[in-house]
């Protein structure tokens, strides 16, 4: 693992969260990022903890900082600190996820049929179908906010591109976000999704390969994946290597 790369990736992620927020509050060990346009998006209304704070203090802090919200969410970027929080937070009803930060080490060949930038309006219908498949229990308002929140991501990095691979008929079959910061030489690939009726046809590979090609000149190219979900193996087969972990905690 590269400590330097992990710290740079984490700094990129926290800066991204700050830029998207409509309000940022400094708290013990980190900051609270809020977005009043998308209050139902946990991603945009959560605590980011990148400094030292004990589990009990952090548990109280989550209740205090997010007292106005129906949910609780926080990301602890230090792996050791996050792991120490797991017993207490799970006992308090939180769901825990270990997130793996992976850096790309493999070659970056140009895709045979590259993905291209897509408009947010084109992503709405296929993403809506995916969200209902993943979360059939949530409200329509929540789904619509999760679709629309991509607008906030446009502010997250100096360069933000939404890429999509298309079918022969022209519909978007898979998509992902690409965030780039030329000043720091860092690029992140995020939210790679294949439409429900287009899985298993290589569209996700097309999007990923295109994103890597567009970020080929960036020394650090990374993404974040759930340690317990199958895509992490898919990414490692495509040249990504784990460089560290962080922990997220969520309570609805």
- The CATH number of the domain where 218 resides is what? 3.40.630.30
In a domain, 246, yes or no: no
In angstroms, the CA 252 to CA 69 distance is 10
221, containing H or E segment: strand 220-226
Nearest to 175 by CA among 191, 187, 188, 153: 191
Which band of pLDDT confidence, cut at 50, 70 and 90, is reported for residue 130?
very high
In the chain, the number of structural domains is 2
Shared-domain flag, residues 149 and 220: yes
Examine the fold and report which residue of 61, 77, 104 is the final residue of a domain before the chain moves on.
Answer: 104
Domain enclosing residue 55, as ranges: 3-104
Going from the C-alpha of 141 to that of each of 38, 128, 132, 137, 170, the distances in angstroms are: 10, 11, 12, 12, 28
Q: Are residues 146 and 67 in the same domain?
A: no
SS (H, E, C) 83-142: HHHHHHHHHCCCEEEEEEEEEECCCCCCCCCCCEECCHHHHHHHHHHHHHHHCCCCCHHH
Tokens 């969410």 -> residue? 73
pLDDT band at 107 (very low <50, low <70, confident <90, very high): confident
Q: Which two tokens stand for residue 92?
A: 């308090």
Place 240 in a pLDDT band, splitting at 50, 70 and 90: very high
Q: Identify whether residues 134 and 190 lie together within a single domain.
A: yes
83 with 134, same domain: the answer is: no
Q: Are residue 166 and residue 81 in the same domain, yes or no? A: no
Q: What confidence score (pLDDT) does residue 200 get?
A: 86
Helix (H), strand (E), coil (C) string for 152-203: HHCCCCCEEEEEEEECCCCCEEEEEEEEEECCCCEEEEEEEEECHHHCCCCH
Helix (H, G, I), strand (E, B) or coil at 39: coil
* Residue 244, Cβ density class (10 Å: 0-12 exposed, 13-18 middle, ≥19 buried): buried
Same domain, 121 and 230: yes
Lowest mean pLDDT among 157-161, 217-221, 227-231: 227-231
pLDDT at 77: 98
Percent of the chain at pLDDT exceeding 70: 99
Q: What's this model's pTM, rounded to 2 decimal places?
A: 0.95
């Amino acid at each position: 693992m590269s400590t330097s790369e992990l710290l740079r990736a984490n700094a990129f992620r926290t800066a991204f969260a700050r830029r998207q927020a409509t309000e940022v509050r400094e708290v013990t060990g980190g900051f609270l990022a809020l977005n009043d346009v998308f209050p139902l998006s946990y991603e945009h209304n959560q605590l980011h903890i990148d400094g030292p704070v004990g589990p009990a203090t952090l548990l109280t802090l989550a209740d205090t900082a997010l007292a106005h919200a129906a949910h609780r969410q926080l990301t602890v970027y230090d792996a050791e600190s996050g792991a120490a929080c797991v017993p207490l937070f799970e006992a308090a009803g939180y769901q825990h996820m270990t997130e793996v930060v992976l850096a790309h080490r493999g070659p970056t060949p140009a895709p045979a049929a590259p993905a291209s930038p897509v408009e947010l309006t084109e992503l709405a219908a296929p993403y809506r179908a995916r969200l209902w498949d993943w979360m059939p229990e949530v409200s329509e308002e929540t789904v619509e906010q999760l679709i629309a929140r991509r607008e906030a991501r446009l502010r997250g990095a100096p360069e933000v591109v939404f890429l999509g691979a298309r079918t022969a008929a022209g519909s978007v079959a898979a998509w992902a976000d690409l965030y780039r910061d030329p000043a720091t030489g860092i690029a992140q690939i995020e939210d790679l999704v294949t439409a429900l009726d287009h899985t298993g046809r290589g569209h996700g590979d097309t999007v990923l390969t295109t994103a890597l090609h567009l970020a080929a000149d960036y020394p650090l190219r990374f993404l974040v994946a759930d340690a317990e979900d199958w895509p992490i193996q898919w990414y490692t087969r495509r040249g990504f290597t784990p460089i560290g972990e962080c922990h997220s905690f969520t309570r609805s």
